[in-house]
Chains A and B, each alone.
Chain A
Amino acid sequence: MSKSVPVLNVHRLTKTYPSGDRTLTVLKEVSFSLGTSSTLAILGPSGSGKTTLLSLCAGLDRPTSGSVFLQGVCLDPLGEDQRASLRNQFVGFVFQTFQLIPTLTALENVMVPLELRGSNQARHLAMELLERVGLGERLDHYPVQLSGGEQQRVALARAFINRPRILFADEPTGNLDTETSEIVADLLFELNQAAGTTLVLVTHDHELSQRAERIIRLRGGSIISDTRSNPQLQGN
């Protein structure tokens, strides 16, 4: 895929919510675009609009104005099911709270995205991925039987199983201790690099953000800076 076709193109994105008699603007005229295999960290304090931006980019919510193009497809006119289908085809997710389905085993959690596509390779690929994240022995464990770090590794395997064009990670290490955070972050970047996936990372963690090629800083719903990160830290 050519780097010249943006995987994600965000154009003058605005999101407001009614709050009593007033209107609360959470995101204001945000625009940027991302090419294939690029990595972006979105930094900002609480309430700056990071998660709102992520949710709009992934088509989980609709903007008040502006547009999102995912893999060249404009999300605006798409219905809920069409967006879901697009997500299943092109998008991976990693959540701060892991968001594994408690009633499914590690293996089954990882299989879900491919099963939704109707693939018969789901089991085989899920086992491979779990092996790769170091959980080959814990395939049949339920989330409640796994530690936080292990749960997030399962979530990583699930995020990559459908070979997404773009991965959205919302504070992926936010619920982990320092040591585990590092392991998970390493794994995230390693898998990302191997799959050639575009990564959008929302984080508070300054150090983690430095591992992305590009950093967008948000404050009060607006981009206050859009910079390249320190190239020396990348890939660490």
Chain B
Amino acid sequence: MEKARSNVSFRWQWSMAWRDSRTNRRQLLVFVSSIVLGVAALVGISSFGRNLRTIINEQAKTLLGADLVIRSPRPWSPEAEVLLRTIPGEESREVSFLSMVTFPGHRDTRLAQVRALEGEFPFYGEFETEPTPAAVSFRLGPSALVEESLMLQLGLQVGDIIRIGSFDYQIAGKLKKVPGESGTASMLGGRVYIPMRYLGQTRLLQAGSLANYRAYFRLRPGIDIDALGRRLEPSLARLQLDSETVEERKASLGRAFQNMYHYLNLVGFVALLLGGISIASSIHVYVTRKLNTIAVLRCLGARIGQTFHIYLVQALAVGVVGAIAGSLLGVAVQWLLPTLFREFLPIITPFSISWLPVLEGLAIGVAVALLFSLLPLLRIRRISPLLALRSSFESQVAGRRDPYRWLIYLLLILATMGFAIAQTRQWRQGLVFTAGIVISLGFLALVGRLMMALAREFLPNSWPYVWRQGLANLYRPNNQTLVLLLSLGLGCFLITTVYLIHYLLLSQISVSGGSSRPNLILFDIQSDQRAAVAQLLQAQGAPALQQVPIVTMRMTQVKGQKVEGLLLDRRRTIPEWLLRREYRCTYRDHLEDTETIVAGRWNGHAEPMSIPAISLEDKTAQRLKVQVGDRLDFDVQGVPMTVTVGSLRKVEWEKVTPNFFIVFPDGVLEKAPKFYVLVTRSQSSQMSARIQQAVVSQFPNVSVIDLALVFASVDAILSKVSFVIRFMAMFSIVTGLTVLAGAVITGRYQRIQESVLLKALGASRRQVLRILMVEYLFLGLISSLSGLILALAATWALARFLFRFPLTIAYLPTVAVLLGVLGLTLLTGMLSSRGIHSRPPLEVLRSDTF
């Protein structure tokens, strides 16, 4: 009996919820719109990420172009050759290095990544070239495949000649895509492929030259790659060679992209949280309008739980509809994303719907909507039926002391933290994200309220009525000013911060390459060329500012432990790359101004007959787990050498001068084979081009890095990254504008009444419109200024504590964001208010109910 009654009650609550929403569905739809964008962002990014993972799995072999690749930072030793010959299958080899490429017909030079290829690489996937046959034909003669962007920059055509070192190659085709590489791979220098058998003619590679060597393998069918890996591991460790299999590439790419889309998901989640806050605010207004209905229902015998459920069902419906609409939009967003990420992706991701992210988005959307809705809905529990008798009776609403309210706050914080931890897979980052959100919202609310209070306090009474009324409107009963301030402010904060950080990073490079600092770096200068290159620079009006000798070496022991053994030790904590790498060290008797000793003592001259004391970069020392006094052993191009750590140095890497992990004192490496790096400064881009041409024509093996071009490359990468982040931050701004439109529509009746009353009191239509304009103007201004203050604070903190740069502010984008948000707020507000002023006064004054 009781069960039957409870079923009836359940049905009645749902049917009452449906009936009660009848005249408010348009309004409820507006609430729905608050979470649509947040859910869309989450679903779009997650679906895209999932697709990407699937594609990475499906196209794994084309990501590497082979089953196995072995890499070496030096030419293959006879032992390495023996090892490579034991690998069963087809082999292809590549030697890659940075070099200047000249274009005889165009009087221009450019730094390029030259890759000499032998064999049939890629074994899986193919070079995308134009014309298509060039991918094969360039291997047949002295031809080259040249990066498409490089050809575009220099106006080169297929059939033109390029010169690498001392040899000319005919361009066989434009290189559009290399399997497994994204567009950013060519940022430092365009890729140029040549056949290996014409590499020698360049005469570029000499002992000590900087080059990378790769051997690609297509394994014979039936070969167990894991077993092969286990067999090769000890030899690879002994020879300090590096290997990568398809599985490893898959895992590392998967991790990289997972990180990327998890962080973007967090930006999307911010939009959803804003939507949630907006729903809480809208439902508060909604419940306020329903107080009477709730009181009447209570008079007629409805229980507290029943009235609560009627509105909970409506909130749930808002969440479900919003989440469904958001998911649909998310699928559309996903369609856009491959274009957005094109530059960063090594593979093309075709569009397909992934249901799991859609379901996740739905669940998260509904949960966020529901949790935020509960805050205003709690109040229903305290609404007295007495309100039906006395409209002036102020019911005891759920105040701060309501324990459920605190429980919901706690749940919201835990949910945010849970989501962030699930995305970042790190407790600390999840906590930092949640704390960041709470602090940002708290700060925005504080700054916004303070600014509003100041505006109210200091707005002179002598100001026109229109201005005073416009500001007063922000304080109207049931206003949603705070939630608008939070959503617009947070969006503005995110976008401005991204702009400011982008500018900050660029400004550092431009400062480093600025007035007195070097902006041309010449490297791979052989000892016998050093004086002549310096002379050439002098003759061009750009004397060498620094001449730095570089000696390459391999680490063989750390504190007496063999590197080979360390590499095989699965419990080791020293990163593999640090053990395998080719160390490029310098020697000098002084410290540069980018270096500070933090431990031990720097001695610029080696003590005769004693073990040399080197200076190690402090972070490298931390990673190698060594301290002052510890022993390190190196193989300096065949000569063993033992050193001790004499001092630890902090290095300012952001300053673009030759910086080193290891600096030797004078008197140790002078006789070792070495090359030099020279840095100089050119006064203009023309001078830079002239120097590059002169250097390359006389010293083809010398490469020149033009920092202006590096600057342009970094700018291009940062622009793309910041565009992606801005794209995600736009979800917050647009959510803010949706909230604004929603708030105007929610408060429409109140506005209509006010406008009619004002008209009845003699205000002109123009004055009423101007009052609204002033209201939106204040709202936009206070929101964007609050966001801006927060953005400046965040940028300052990042500059000070993360990047350790002095704060520089990009005024133009800052003002542009400010004006943009202001303009959009005004436009959205005025568009949403359309029709409010055309209602006939009599109709409005007579009607009692909405």
Please list the residues of chain A having a beta carbon within 8 angstroms of any beta carbon in chain B.
51, 54-55, 58, 60-61, 80-81, 84-89, 91, 93, 95, 97, 99-104, 108, 112-113, 115-118, 142-144, 158, 162, 170
Task: Name 23 A/B residue pairs within 8 A (Cβ), A-sorted.
Answer: A55-B386, A60-B386, A60-B388, A60-B389, A81-B304, A91-B301, A93-B388, A95-B388, A99-B296, A102-B293, A103-B19, A103-B22, A108-B19, A112-B297, A113-B301, A115-B16, A116-B300, A116-B301, A142-B23, A144-B849, A158-B300, A162-B301, A170-B389
Q: How far is the CB of A33 from chain B (nearest CB, A)?
A: 22
Q: Contact check, A103 vs B21: say whether CB atoms are below 8 A apart.
A: yes
Q: Contact check, B388 vs A99: say whether CB atoms are below 8 A apart.
A: yes
Q: Convert B815-850 into 0s and 1s, putting 1 for each residue whose CB lies closer than 8 angstroms to a CB of A.
A: 000000000000000000000000000000001011
Known: A51-B390, A60-B385. A102 touches B298 (CB 8 A): no
Known: A103-B19, A115-B12, A118-B5. A93 touches B384 (CB 8 A): no
A85 contacts which chain B residues (CB < 8 A)? 301, 303
Q: Which A residue's beta carbon lies closest to that of B298?
A: A84
Known: A118-B4, A118-B12. A103 touches B297 (CB 8 A): no
Q: Which A residue's beta carbon lies closest to that of B300?
A: A113
Chain A residues touching B, majority SS: helix
Closest 10 CB pairs of A and B: A88-B301, A118-B8, A81-B303, A60-B386, A87-B301, A60-B385, A103-B22, A99-B296, A118-B5, A102-B849
Q: How far is the CB of B314 from chain A (nearest CB, A)?
A: 11
B850 contacts which chain A residues (CB < 8 A)? 102
- B residues 303-317 in Cβ contact with A at 8 Å: 303-306
A162 contacts which chain B residues (CB < 8 A)? 301
Q: Which A residue's beta carbon lies closest to that of B7?
A: A118
Asked if B431 is an interface residue, CB under 8 A from chain A, the answer is no
In the bound complex, what is the Cα–Cα distance between A97 and B293 (angstroms)?
12
Known: A87-B300, A88-B301. A103 touches B23 (CB 8 A): yes
User: Which of A86, A108, A116 touches B302 (beta carbons < 8 Å)?
Assistant: A116
Known: A51-B389, A118-B9, A170-B389. A61 touches B384 (CB 8 A): yes
A113 contacts which chain B residues (CB < 8 A)? 300-301
In the bound complex, what is the Cα–Cα distance between A88 and B391 (angstroms)?
22
A86 contacts which chain B residues (CB < 8 A)? 301
Asked if B166 is an interface residue, CB under 8 A from chain A, the answer is no
B23 contacts which chain A residues (CB < 8 A)? 102-103, 142
B384 contacts which chain A residues (CB < 8 A)? 60-61
Known pairs A86-B301, A118-B9, A144-B849 / 11 extra A-B pairs, C-beta < 8 Å: A55-B386, A61-B384, A84-B301, A87-B301, A95-B388, A99-B292, A103-B23, A104-B19, A116-B12, A116-B302, A117-B301
A102 contacts which chain B residues (CB < 8 A)? 23, 293, 849-850
Q: Contact check, B389 vs A54: say whether CB atoms are below 8 A apart.
A: yes
A117 contacts which chain B residues (CB < 8 A)? 301
In the bound complex, what is the Cα–Cα distance between A91 and B299 (angstroms)?
9
User: Which of B20, B21, B386, B847 touches A101 (beta carbons < 8 Å)?
Assistant: B20
Asked if B538 is an interface residue, CB under 8 A from chain A, the answer is no
In the bound complex, what is the Cα–Cα distance between A58 and B388 (angstroms)?
12
User: Which of B12, B292, B386, B849 touches A61 (beta carbons < 8 Å)?
Assistant: B386
Asked if B24 is an interface residue, CB under 8 A from chain A, the answer is yes
Known: A51-B389, A95-B388, A143-B849. A60 touches B299 (CB 8 A): yes
Q: How far is the CB of A122 from chain B (nearest CB, A)?
A: 10
Q: How far is the CB of B124 from chain A (nearest CB, A)?
A: 64
A51 contacts which chain B residues (CB < 8 A)? 389-390
B849 contacts which chain A residues (CB < 8 A)? 102, 143-144
Q: Contact check, A144 vs B300: say whether CB atoms are below 8 A apart.
A: no
B12 contacts which chain A residues (CB < 8 A)? 115-116, 118
Q: Contact check, A101 vs B293: say whether CB atoms are below 8 A apart.
A: yes
In the bound complex, what is the Cα–Cα distance between A73 and B24 (angstroms)?
40
Q: How far is the CB of A31 from chain B (nearest CB, A)?
A: 22
In the bound complex, what is the Cα–Cα distance between A100 and B390 (angstroms)?
15
Q: How far is the CB of B654 from chain A (nearest CB, A)?
A: 64
- B residues 1-17 in Cβ contact with A at 8 Å: 4-5, 8-9, 12, 15-16
Q: How far is the CB of A85 from chain B (nearest CB, A)?
A: 6
In the bound complex, what is the Cα–Cα distance between A11 and B202 (angstroms)?
113
Chain B residues touching A, majority SS: helix
Q: How far is the CB of A93 from chain B (nearest CB, A)?
A: 5
Known: A101-B293, A103-B20, A112-B297. A84 touches B303 (CB 8 A): yes
In the bound complex, what is the Cα–Cα distance between A91 and B301 (angstroms)?
9
- B residues 244-303 in Cβ contact with A at 8 Å: 292-293, 296-303
In the bound complex, what is the Cα–Cα distance between A93 and B389 (angstroms)?
10
In the bound complex, what is the Cα–Cα distance between A91 and B176 (angstroms)?
83
In the bound complex, what is the Cα–Cα distance between A201 and B846 (angstroms)?
29
Q: Contact check, A55 vs B389: say whether CB atoms are below 8 A apart.
A: yes
Q: Contact check, B297 vs A101: say whether CB atoms are below 8 A apart.
A: yes
B296 contacts which chain A residues (CB < 8 A)? 95, 99-101
B847 contacts which chain A residues (CB < 8 A)? 144
Q: Contact check, A80 vs B304: say whether CB atoms are below 8 A apart.
A: yes
B388 contacts which chain A residues (CB < 8 A)? 60, 93, 95, 99
In the bound complex, what is the Cα–Cα distance between A93 and B20 (angstroms)?
21
B302 contacts which chain A residues (CB < 8 A)? 84, 88, 116
User: Which of A55, A89, A170 touches B301 (beta carbons < 8 Å)?
Assistant: A89
B299 contacts which chain A residues (CB < 8 A)? 58, 60, 87, 93, 99
In the bound complex, what is the Cα–Cα distance between A143 and B388 (angstroms)?
16
B386 contacts which chain A residues (CB < 8 A)? 55, 60-61
B391 contacts which chain A residues (CB < 8 A)? 97
Q: How far is the CB of A131 from chain B (nearest CB, A)?
A: 21
Q: Which B residue's beta carbon lies closest to that of A92?
A: B300
Q: How far is the CB of B293 from chain A (nearest CB, A)?
A: 5
Q: How far is the CB of B720 from chain A (nearest CB, A)?
A: 51
In the bound complex, what is the Cα–Cα distance between A158 and B301 (angstroms)?
12
In the bound complex, what is the Cα–Cα distance between A40 and B292 (angstroms)?
27
Q: How far is the CB of B27 from chain A (nearest CB, A)?
A: 12
A116 contacts which chain B residues (CB < 8 A)? 9, 12, 300-302, 306
In the bound complex, what is the Cα–Cα distance between A5 and B573 (angstroms)?
88
Q: How far is the CB of B134 from chain A (nearest CB, A)?
A: 72
A54 contacts which chain B residues (CB < 8 A)? 389
In the bound complex, what is the Cα–Cα distance between A88 and B300 (angstroms)?
6
Q: Which A residue's beta carbon lies closest to that of B1?
A: A118
In the bound complex, what is the Cα–Cα distance between A101 and B299 (angstroms)?
12
In the bound complex, what is the Cα–Cα distance between A157 and B81 (angstroms)?
100
B8 contacts which chain A residues (CB < 8 A)? 118
Q: Contact check, B390 vs A103: say whether CB atoms are below 8 A apart.
A: no
Q: How far is the CB of A101 from chain B (nearest CB, A)?
A: 5
In the bound complex, what is the Cα–Cα distance between A157 and B300 (angstroms)?
13
In the bound complex, what is the Cα–Cα distance between A61 and B385 (angstroms)?
8
Q: How far is the CB of B290 from chain A (nearest CB, A)?
A: 9
Q: Which A residue's beta carbon lies closest to that of B5?
A: A118
Q: How far is the CB of A159 from chain B (nearest CB, A)?
A: 9
Q: Which B residue's beta carbon lies closest to that of A118?
A: B8
Q: How far is the CB of A218 from chain B (nearest CB, A)?
A: 16
Q: How far is the CB of B26 from chain A (nearest CB, A)?
A: 13
In the bound complex, what is the Cα–Cα distance between A115 and B847 (angstroms)?
29
Q: Which B residue's beta carbon lies closest to that of A202?
A: B389
Q: Which B residue's beta carbon lies closest to that of A79?
A: B304
Q: Which A residue's beta carbon lies closest to that of B9?
A: A118
In the bound complex, what is the Cα–Cα distance between A139 and B14 (angstroms)?
22
Q: How far is the CB of B847 from chain A (nearest CB, A)?
A: 7
Q: Which of B8, B292, B301, B305 has the most CB of A within 10 A?
A: B301
In the bound complex, what is the Cα–Cα distance between A170 and B296 (angstroms)?
13
A88 contacts which chain B residues (CB < 8 A)? 300-302
Q: Which B residue's beta carbon lies closest to that of A119?
A: B8
B385 contacts which chain A residues (CB < 8 A)? 60, 84
B390 contacts which chain A residues (CB < 8 A)? 51, 55
In the bound complex, what is the Cα–Cα distance between A108 and B292 (angstroms)?
17
A108 contacts which chain B residues (CB < 8 A)? 19
Q: Contact check, A103 vs B24: say whether CB atoms are below 8 A apart.
A: yes
Q: Which of A91, A99, A108 has the most CB of B within 10 A?
A: A99
Q: How far is the CB of A137 from chain B (nearest CB, A)?
A: 21
- B residues 710-727 in Cβ contact with A at 8 Å: none
